[in-house]
Amino acid sequence: MFRAVNLAKRNPILSSSSGKNGIYLFSSLTRQSATNINGAATVFSLANKSLNNHGYKRFFNFSPVKFDSNTNKNNNDDSKNSEQKKQKFNPNSGRKSNFLGMPNSGPLSPIGVSLFLIAATSVYYIFTIEKEKAELKRQLDAQADKQIGKPKIGGPFILVDHNNVPFTEQDLKGRYTLIYFGFCHCPDVCPEELDKIGDTLTILDTDPITKDRVTPVFITCDPQRDDPDTVKNYLKEFHPKFIGLTGTIEQVQAACKAYRVYFSKPPSLKENQDYLVDHSIFTYFMNPSGEFIDVYGKERSETEMANSIRSHILSQ
């Protein structure tokens, strides 16, 4: 800068009144020599002074820049604020990383990730348990709804068959059964019902789905006269699949009570006097678990019974 000023003072072209060419040349030299804005202002001030001495108007209108300490401080504060904002929005700012490359604090730290995994596992476990409970409740409700409206028919009994072999309800498990209560000296109703049961089995045996799946059972409610041999001879007149059961009076009464069967005989009888037994006229259809499915009265035909039984078997 000072080199340019001294050059301007010594140069006759720049300091003479030779015209505007000298002014432009001086201006070019001073602009090239000035290394900062305040130095350029000093050069331009000296040039204006020289021009005034030679009768020229002010050619350079240049004011030096003042540097205010407060302005510089404000600029520094703005710079710091900008840096702080950058750090504020930088999630990893000021955090140290561990050997895994994860921050030591925050949601992405090992502790944060571990807590998230524990919470997720807990939610999954609770959801699974609740789902299992809901499914179990649904099954129990379905089973309860299935039993609504069905009478409690059937239960344990201890009797003997027509071959005088002990027989219980467990011997009927695993197969569908048609159970009828009657007595061997019945003149009309029992034979009709046993024939109808036999005809029903004949119809069912024509269908591969129901063939040999239903067993007929005859239980006497007159054990005083119907011993095993009497029952065996009586059933020869009906379907060959029939199983005949009898027992003591107490055993027969217990079986009739389990199946809700009513029976009675005259209160006073003479020795060797013939009599009739009053009893319920129903045939009970039971499933392989010994549970009640349906009941058929005297008014139902063998065709109706066969269709109903087939429908129940298909729905099981």
Among 279, 291, 288, 255, smallest CA distance to 153 is for: 291
Pure H helices in 54-109: 69-88
With contact defined as beta carbons under 8 Å apart, do 154 and 259 qualify? yes
For the chain, the distance separating the N- and C-terminal CA atoms, rounded to the nearest angstrom, is: 112
Q: Give CA–CA dist 85/114, Å, rounded.
A: 30
The burial class, CB within 10 Å (0-12 / 13-18 / 19+), for 50 is middle
Is residue 18 helix, strand or coil? coil
Among 157, 189, 197, 155, smallest CA distance to 291 is for: 155
Any known ligand binding at 312? no
| Residues of the chain by 3-state class (helix, strand, coil), percent to 5 | 50, 15, 40
Bridge partners, residue 166, by sequence:
160
Is residue 127 helix, strand or coil? helix
Quick one: CA dihedral 294, 299, 301, 304, positive or negative?
A: negative
Quick one: CA dihedral 15, 21, 25, 27, positive or negative?
A: positive
Any known ligand binding at 279? yes
Task: List the Cα angle 214/218/219 in 5-degree steps.
Answer: 135
Q: Which residues are annotated as a binding site?
A: 186, 190, 279
> Known binding site for Cu cation: residues?
186, 190, 279
